[in-house]
Amino acid sequence: MEKEKNLRNFCIIAHIDHGKSTLADRFLEITHTVTPQKMKAQLLDSMDLEREKGITIKLQPVRMNYSLAGKDYILNLIDTPGHVDFSYEVSRSLLAVEGALLLVDASQGIQAQTLANLYLALEENLTIIPVINKIDLPNADVKNSIKEIENVLGRNEKILAISAKTGSGVKELLESAITYFPAPQINPTKNFRALIFDSIFDIYKGIILYVRILDGSLQKNQKISLLGSGAEAEALEIGYFQPGLVPTDKLEAGEIGYIATGLKEIKLCRVGDTVALKKEWEEITPLPGYRPSIPMVYAGVYPTDSDQYEDLRDALNKLNLNDAAFNFEPETSTALGRGFKIGCLGLLHLEIVKERISREFKIEAILTAPSVRYRIKEKNKDDWREISSVTQMPDSSKVDLIEEPWVETEIVTPKNYLGAIMKLMENHRGIYGATEFLQAERVIIRYQMPLAEVIMNFYDKLKSVSSGYASLNYTSLGFRPGDLARLDILVAGEIKESLSRIVPREKVISEGKNIVHMLKKVLPRQQFVISLQAAVGGNILARENLPAMRKDVTAKLYGGDRTRKDKLLNKQKKGKQRMKETGKVKIPGSVYLDLLRR
pLDDT in tens, 26-54: 999 999 988 776 766 555 545 555 556 66
Q: Where in the chain is the domain with CATH 3.30.70.240?
A: 375-482
Of 102 and 265, the one with more pLDDT:
102
Q: Where in the chain is the domain with CATH 3.30.70.870?
A: 297-370
Name residues whose C-beta falls within 8 Å of residue 20's C-beta, 6 or more positions apart in sequence.
Answer: 12, 13, 14, 56, 79, 80, 82, 103
Distance CA 121, CA 408 (A): 20
Instruction: Report pLDDT for 129.
Output: 94
pLDDT category of residue 579 using cuts at 50, 70 and 90: very low
Q: What single-letter amino acid sits at 201? A: F
Closest C-alpha to 510, from 527, 485, 493, 491: 485
The answer on pLDDT for 405 being more than 90 is yes
Instruction: Report pLDDT for 582.
Output: 43
Distance CA 596, CA 369 (A): 6
Please compute the mean of the pLDDT values over residues 577-581 and round it to a whole number. 48
Q: Where in the chain is the domain with CATH 3.40.50.300?
A: 2-180
| Pairing mode, strands 160-161 and 127-133 | parallel
Give the number of other CB atoms < 10 A from CB of residue 526. Answer: 19
The answer on pLDDT for 442 being more than 80 is yes
CATH superfamily of 297-370: Elongation Factor G (Translational Gtpase), domain 3 (3.30.70.870)
Instruction: Report pLDDT for 12.
Output: 92
Give whole-number Cα distances, 588 to 15, 87, 161, in Å: 36, 32, 50
pLDDT category of residue 162 using cuts at 50, 70 and 90: very high
Please compute the mean of the pLDDT values over residues 67-84 and round it to a whole number. 87
User: Which of 215-224, 416-425, 559-568 shows the lowest mean pLDDT across its residues?
Assistant: 559-568
Average pLDDT score over the chain: 84
Instruction: Report pLDDT for 48.
Output: 59
CATH superfamily of 2-180: P-loop containing nucleotide triphosphate hydrolases (3.40.50.300)
- For residue 102, what are the β-bridge partners? 13, 130
Give the number of other CB atoms < 10 A from CB of residue 598. Answer: 14
- As a whole number of angstroms, the longest Cα–Cα distance in the chain is 103
Sign of the four-CA dihedral 233, 239, 245, 246 = negative
Residue 472: Cβ-neighbour burial (10 angstroms; 0-12, 13-18, 19+): buried
Of 356 and 456, the one with more pLDDT:
356
pLDDT in tens, 79-134: 887 677 777 778 888 888 999 999 999 999 999 888 888 988 998 899 999 999 99
Distance CA 52, CA 498 (A): 29
Distance CA 215, CA 211 (A): 12
The answer on pLDDT for 5 being more than 80 is no
Strands (E), 203-290: 206-215, 217-219, 223-226, 232-234, 237-241, 245-248, 250-252, 256-260, 274-277
If you classify domain 375-482 with CATH, what class do you get? alpha beta
Instruction: Report pLDDT for 577.
Output: 54
CATH superfamily of 193-283: Translation factors (2.40.30.10)
Distance CA 576, CA 565 (A): 17
Distance CA 11, CA 129 (A): 11
Distance CA 136, CA 597 (A): 34
Q: Which residues of 343-382 are buried (b: 16+ CB within 10 A; e: fewer)?
A: bbbbbbbbbbbbbbbeeebebebbbbbbbbbbbbeeeeee
Closest C-alpha to 546, from 570, 573, 523: 523
CATH superfamily of 485-597: Elongation factor 4, C-terminal domain (3.30.70.2570)
pLDDT in tens, 472-523: 888 889 999 999 988 888 888 888 877 888 889 998 999 899 888 888 888 8
DSSP letter, residue 22: H
The answer on pLDDT for 1 being more than 50 is no
The angle that helices 112-123 and 87-94 make with each other, rounded to 10 degrees, is 30
Closest C-alpha to 31, from 19, 39, 21: 39
Please compute the mean of the pLDDT values over residues 227-238 and round it to a whole number. 92
The answer on pLDDT for 317 being more than 50 is yes
Share of the chain above pLDDT 70, in %: 86
Instruction: Report pLDDT for 171.
Output: 96
Helices (H) and strands (E) in the chain, counts: 15, 31
Residue 457: Cβ-neighbour burial (10 angstroms; 0-12, 13-18, 19+): middle
Strands (E), 537-580: 539-546
Instruction: Report pLDDT for 581.
Output: 44
Instruction: Report pLDDT for 493.
Output: 83
Instruction: Report pLDDT for 74.
Output: 94
Strands (E), 69-181: 71-79, 99-105, 127-133, 160-161
Distance CA 166, CA 25 (A): 11
Instruction: Report pLDDT for 80.
Output: 83
Sign of the four-CA dihedral 113, 119, 124, 125 = positive
Please compute the mean of the pLDDT values over residues 583-596 and round it to a whole number. 61
pLDDT in tens, 367-394: 877 888 999 998 888 889 998 878 788 8
Of 347 and 406, the one with more pLDDT:
406
Find out whether the peptide bond into 243 is cis, omega within 30 degrees of 0: yes
Q: Where in the chain is the domain with CATH 3.30.70.2570?
A: 485-597
Instruction: Report pLDDT for 193.
Output: 92
Q: Which residues of 105-124 are buried (b: 16+ CB within 10 A; e: fewer)?
A: bbbbbbbbbbbbbbebbeee
